[in-house]
Structure formats: structure tokens, C-alpha cells
């Protein structure tokens, strides 16, 4: 893979500052997703990540102003959240101080996209009747400043 295509792939994996809450409805409401993401918390999410990313995810979840386990908030709050995780996870060649390889970053991209697409589209639905501590006020404040972009109707 040429370096330019790697950078393009990474830019897509970790989209830059955006002003829109983006989601694909068809993908979000795919069978099984509600079960898959039900009551999702940081502890369970980091188990899906390569070890180079685990602590970075924890740092971002602690540092973006959302409740730690509130993925509806983290995903809507991507502008605050992504610089924290990128700086932590990206290798020096990509301007970070982390140790993730391009393969690891590329491999995690579809996981993050699917998870955040789900929460962007469904909000707090998957947290109904969960004991998770949530920060809906923060989420709604973040979303209020954005336009909503639905990719697939």
C-alpha cells in the first residue's frame, strides 16, 4: 500500500473535525445490533480492541466530557474524542505518540464505524433499562450544535 492511500484510509477511519451527526439508518438497524450493543460499557468495548488502543480508548472515554460508559455521548462527541484517541494511538510517523501499527488502526476502523454509526442513529435506545451511568444532557448539547446527516434512508 502506498503511503498516500494509507493516510486516506486512516483519515476515513478517524474522520477529522465534523459538524454533523452522521449515520446510516440501514446499517444501524441491521438485525442483531440492538443485542450486540445493549448496555455497552468501556470495559466490554476495549476487549474488542488491539492492546495498543485499549488505554487510549479509556483515556478518551475519561477525557471527552461525557460519562465514561456513555457511547451515545462519545460517538456524538467525536470532535472532542477523536483528537484524544488519535494522539494516544497513532505512531509518531502519523503525528501521534502511540504504538499502533497501520494494520491495527485499519483493522479497528470497521468496528468503530459500526459501533458509532449504531449509537449516532439510535441514541439511548440500547441503554434502556441498563445500569450504565449516562450523560444525556451533554449528548444533547453536542448534537444541538450539529446538523444531522442520514446517509441511507
Ligand X SMILES: *[C@@H]1O[C@H](CO)[C@@H](O)[C@H](O)[C@H]1NC(C)=O
Binder of ligand X out of 56, 116, 126, 134 (CB under 6 A): 116
Rg (CA), the chain: 15
Take residue 137 and report the three cell numbers written for it: 444532557
Nearer to ligand X, 51 or 152 (CB): 152
Query: What is the nearest approach in angstroms of ligand X to the Cβ of residue 62?
Result: 19
Q: At what angle do helices 51-63 and 102-122 cross, to 10 degrees?
A: 40
**Binding flag, residue 99, ligand X (CB under 6 A):** no
**Binding flag, residue 40, ligand X (CB under 6 A):** no
Binder of ligand X out of 24, 57, 135, 139 (CB under 6 A): 24
CA–CA gap between residue 24 and residue 30 (Å, rounded): 10
Query: What phi and psi, each to the nearest 5 degrees, are found at residue 70?
Result: -95, 90
Contact mark string toward ligand X, 64..83, x via CB under 6 A: -----------xx-x-----
Binder of ligand X out of 15, 65, 96, 123 (CB under 6 A): 15
**Binding flag, residue 22, ligand X (CB under 6 A):** yes
Nearer to ligand X, 100 or 142 (CB): 142
- Euclidean distance between the first and the last CA atom of the chain, given in angstroms as a whole number: 34
**Binding flag, residue 42, ligand X (CB under 6 A):** no
The 3-state DSSP class for residue 152 equals strand
Q: Are 77 and 64 in contact (CB under 8 A)?
A: yes
**Binding flag, residue 55, ligand X (CB under 6 A):** no
Amino acid at each position: 500500500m502506498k503511503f498516500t492511500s494509507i493516510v486516506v484510509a486512516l483519515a476515513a477511519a478517524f474522520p477529522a473535525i465534523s459538524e454533523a451527526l452522521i449515520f446510516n439508518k440501514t446499517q444501524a438497524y441491521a438485525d442483531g445490533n440492538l443485542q450486540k450493543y445493549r448496555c455497552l460499557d468501556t470495559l466490554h468495548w476495549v476487549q474488542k480492541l488491539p492492546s495498543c488502543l485499549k488505554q487510549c480508548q479509556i483515556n478518551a472515554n475519561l477525557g471527552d466530557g461525557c460519562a465514561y460508559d456513555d457511547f451515545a455521548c462519545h460517538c456524538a462527541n467525536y470532535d472532542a474524542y477523536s483528537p484524544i484517541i488519535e494522539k494516544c494511538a497513532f505512531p509518531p510517523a502519523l503525528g501521534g505518540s502511540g504504538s499502533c501499527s497501520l494494520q491495527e488502526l485499519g483493522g479497528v476502523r470497521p468496528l468503530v464505524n459500526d459501533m458509532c454509526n449504531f449509537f449516532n442513529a439510535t441514541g439511548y435506545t440500547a441503554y434502556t433499562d441498563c445500569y450504565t451511568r449516562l450523560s444525556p444532557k451533554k449528548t444533547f448539547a453536542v448534537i444541538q450544535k450539529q446538523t444531522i446527516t442520514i446517509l441511507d434512508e
